[in-house]
Amino acid sequence: ATPISLVVAVGKAAEFGILIRKGEALERASKLTTVVLDKTGTITTGKPVVTDILADDPDQLLRMAAALESGSEHPLAAAILARAGDPAPLACESFQAIAGQGIGGIVAGQSLLLGNMALMMAHGIGMDDGWRDRMQALAAEAKTPMLLACDGRIMGIIAVADPIREGAQEAIAGLQAQGLKVVMLTGDMRKTAEAVAARVGIRELFAEVMPEDKDATIASLQAAGEVVGMVGDGINDAPALSRADVGFAMGAGTDVAIASADITLMRPSLDGIVVAIALSRATLRNIK
């Protein structure tokens, strides 16, 4: 039987917009040693904005990128389509999404690829040091840079910035003050991840992780003896949310996040995790 104090705590949590599926989840939350935070949509708002377009003809680069992205549901696509504005994007044939790397397709008879350096390498596209340096410089500013290749040649870079959630730094400090290890997990570039981590006070991170490897990262932490909470928005991280000892979904995220999680944060703030864990510890202390 569920101790009455757990039932009370679940009710109390709801007042803070924290929806707990089962009393057991609250019990497990009291034992967490590590909290893993997805970067995009969790530490950041998940609403990136285009900041830089580096190309001989930036407008043309944007038009080609928008044509490709019109077939994508990725948050990066929304940023590029918003920047491209009103004119309907050019038609794109044979659209293909390559998870964790980018997208490809044929636009105006030209074969286009848009995504990270791994995507270009996977397609044997050469990249000189100039492009590499520009990618690293943008990433060092916490931006996500994407390369566009046309018929096998790099044409330019589009970079976006994804604003850090209000209060993220304070919430992360709150978790660390509870003695928890806080870790960032992302498919984004290492340099971008490091720049975001530095801004919010995170010292450990896993970057350039393919979507299908995110839950293996959680499993490896568990194998090392950690009791792991995972916070995500469900875009690419639903299996990791289920794998974790306690999965926390950002409520404004996807339905799949909510379905995969034990605890849903209805408010768009990381504060809910700090409150949920503090509440779980206080409640379990009273039961013992």
What contacts 220, CB < 8 A, 6 or more positions away? none
Q: Give the footprint of Mg ion on this chain (CB under 5 A).
A: 40, 235-236
Report the residue from 236, 254, 260, 283 that binds ligand ADP according to the rule CB under 6 A.
236
Pick what 114 binds: Mg ion, ligand ADP, none; C-beta below 5 to 8 Å, kind-dependent: ligand ADP
Query: Containing H/E element for 195?
Result: helix 190-200
Q: Catalytic residues, which ones? A: 38
Cβ distance to ligand ADP smaller for residue 254 or 280? 254
CB 59, CB 85: distance < 8 Å = no
Secondary structure class of 44 (helix, strand, coil): strand
Report the residue from 26, 235, 270, 277 that binds ligand ADP according to the rule CB under 6 A.
235
Write out the two tokens for 210: 């393919």
Calpha distance 208→139 (Å, rounded): 13
Query: Containing H/E element for 110?
Result: strand 110-115
Round the CA-based radius of gyration of the chain to a whole number and report it: 21
Query: Containing H/E element for 53?
Result: strand 49-54
Mask 252-271, x = binds ligand ADP (CB under 6 A)? Answer: --------------------
Pick what 46 binds: Mg ion, ligand ADP, none; C-beta below 5 to 8 Å, kind-dependent: none
Residue 79 as a binder of ligand ADP (CB under 6 A): the answer is: no
What is the footprint of ligand ADP within residues 206-225 (CB under 6 A)?
211
Chain contacts with ligand ADP (rule: CB under 6 A): 39-40, 69, 72, 74, 76-77, 100-103, 114-116, 144, 146, 186-188, 211, 235-236
